[in-house]
Structure 1
Amino acid sequence: MYSQTKGIVLSNVKYSESSIICKVYTAKLGLQSYLVNGVRKKKGGSAYYQPLNILDLMVYHKNNKQLQRIKEVKTPITYSSIPFHVLKSSVALFLAEVLSKCLKEEEENQDLYRFLENSLVEFDQSDFDSQFHIRFLVALSSYLGFYPNMENANLPYFDLINGCFSEDKNEHKYYISNTTEFVSALNLEPIHNKKRILEYILEYYQLHIDGFGRIKSKDVLESVLKV
C-alpha cells in the first residue's frame, strides 16, 4: 500500500550501474531501505539521497519486505549551510554514521523523528557549535532508552554499564573517574576536553547498543575540529 511520510536519509550505496539502495529513518515507518532505480543516470538525481537530507516521501510499503520502493520524493527543507561548511559537513557525516548504527526499529516513533529533524534544522540554521555532536548524542540517549541516571551525580565514579554514578568502582572495568566534565556534558554545559568526553559517550553507546562498534568518521571529525 502507499504511505506518505517524512524521512531522514542515513546512508546510500550503489546498486547496479544506475541505482542505489538508500536507508531512511521515517516518521511513520521507522527505519526502511529503499531501492531507487535509475537515479544515478539522472542529472542531480542522487542529490536527494545524501546523508541527513530531510525528505517528503510517497512510498509503496509492504510489510516484511527488505527493500521498499519510492514513488515520489520532495525536499521540504533545503539545508543552507551544512553542505557548504567544512566543519558542519564533517559533524553531519559523523552523526549519520552514528544514527545508522543506532536506529534499527521498523516502527513509528514520532518523538524520536521530531527530535532528529528539529536538531538538524537547528544545526543548519545556527552558528557552528563545536560541541553540538556531544549535546546531540547526550539527548539522543534519552530517546533510545539509556540516558544516564543523574541521581548522585556528585559521586566520584560513573558506571558505564549500569548508567549511574557510584561511590566505588564496580568489578568490571567500564567506569569513568574524574566525572566533573562528564557531568557538565550531561547537563549540556560547555566543556574543554571534547575528545575525551566523546570517547566516553561512544563507549557508553557501544555498551548499550548491540553491534554499535567503532565509528570510522570519528578520527576525521577530530582532525577537522582539531580537538
Structure 2
Amino acid sequence: MKSYKGRGIVLHTLKYGDSSMVVFLLTDVGGRRSYMVQGVRSSRGRGSKLALFQPMFALEFEGLESSRQQMDRFREVHSGIVLRTLPFDVRKSTVALFMAEVLYRLVKESEPNEPLFEFVWNGVAALDELQEGVANFHLWFLARLSRFLGFFPGNDYREGDCFDIREGLYTKTARRNVLIMSEQNARTLHELMHLEVNRLGTLALNRTQRVEFLNAMLDYYGYHLDAISAVQSVRILREVF
C-alpha cells in the first residue's frame, strides 16, 4: 500500500467492533478523510490510543492508502500540537466539540483545501493558548469560517447597518419578510470578521447578546447550508456560555 504523510484535525469517531474505530479527519493532504484504527481500545502494548482522537485534536501521521476499501489506515500517528489547556478546560473543550461537529456536518469535500485547513489548524492552537475571550471564540469561528465556505459579507459595513442574510450584504433598510440580522448582530459580525483572535477578550458581549448572535449566525448558515441544523452541540454551548 502506498504511504503518505499529512496533518489532520479530528472531527468525529465511530466505534467499529469491539476494539476498533473509524476516525474522520480534516486533512491537509485530502480534505475530509476517514481512517480505520484497529486495537484502539486495547490495553496491550502501548495501551489505548483513544486519547489522540478527541474532537479538534491535531495530529501528524503517516497514512496508508487502501485500494480495496474507502478508508485508509495509519502506519504512524501522533499529536501535532501539544495542547496545554484545551483538554482540561470545560469551556474550551465545549467549544472544540462544537467546532468539530460543525466541520463534520458541513465539510464533505475529499480534496485539499489549504486555506481552510490552515485556518482550522491555527484555530486549534489559538483556542488552546487563549486566556481571555473564550466565551466569544465559537462566534469568531463561525464568522471567520463563512469566508472559507463561500458566503461571507459581500460589502463594507457602515455604522447602523443591519445584515441581509439572503443577499449576504450589510444594508440600511430592513425590508419586510426578509431574513435580517439586527443592528447589534450586524455590528458584532463586522467586528468578528476583523478582530484578531488574541483580542477576543476586548469584545464586550453579555450572555444574552452571545446567544442572540449565535442564533443569527445559525440562521445565516442555515440559509446556505441545511446541514447546520443537525449540529447538536449548540444546546451545550448555550448552557455553558
Deviation string for 1:130-171 (max 9, x for gaps)? 111111111111111111123354565422122112344557
**Corresponding residue for 1:19?**
20
* Conserved 8 A contact 2:13-2:24: yes
Identical columns (%): 31
**Corresponding residue for 2:165?**
160
Q: CA deviation at 1:92?
A: 1.1
Amino acid at match of 2:3: Y
Identify which of 59, 62, 70 aligns with 1:66.
70
The alignment status of 1:200 with 2:201, answered yes or no, reads no
The alignment status of 1:180 with 2:184, answered yes or no, reads yes
* Conserved 8 A contact 1:40-1:46: yes
- Structure 1 residues 161-170 or 112-121, which shifts more? 161-170
Quote the Cα distance in structure 2 between the aligned partners of 1:153 and 1:30.
Answer: 36
Q: CA deviation at 1:210?
A: 4.0
Gaps of at least 5 residues in structure 1 are: none
TM-score (norm 2): 0.85
Q: Tell me how large the CA RMSD over aligned residues is.
A: 2.1
* Conserved 8 A contact 1:181-1:191: no
The alignment status of 1:135 with 2:151, answered yes or no, reads no
**Match of 1:182, SS?**
helix
Quote the Cα distance in structure 2 between the aligned partners of 1:148 and 1:66.
Answer: 37
Quote the Cα distance in structure 2 between the aligned partners of 1:61 and 1:155.
Answer: 53
Gaps of at least 5 residues in structure 2 are: 196-202
Quote the Cα distance in structure 2 between the aligned partners of 1:180 and 1:76.
Answer: 38
Deviation string for 1:86-127 (max 9, x for gaps)? 111111111111111121110111111111111110110120
Q: CA deviation at 1:180?
A: 3.0
Quote the Cα distance in structure 1 between the aligned partners of 2:183 and 2:68.
Answer: 45
Q: CA deviation at 1:62?
A: 4.7
The alignment status of 1:82 with 2:83, answered yes or no, reads no
Quote the Cα distance in structure 2 between the aligned partners of 1:214 and 1:25.
Answer: 19
| Count of aligned residue pairs for this structure pair | 224
* Conserved 8 A contact 1:185-1:191: no
TM-score (norm 1): 0.90
Kindly tell me: are residues 83 and 204 of structure 1, through their superposed partners in 2, closer, same or farther at Cα, counting changes over 3 Å? same
Kindly tell me: are residues 64 and 198 of structure 1, through their superposed partners in 2, closer, same or farther at Cα, counting changes over 3 Å? farther
The alignment status of 1:149 with 2:154, answered yes or no, reads yes
**Corresponding residue for 1:52?**
56
**Match of 2:61, SS?**
strand
Quote the Cα distance in structure 1 between the aligned partners of 2:222 and 2:84.
Answer: 33
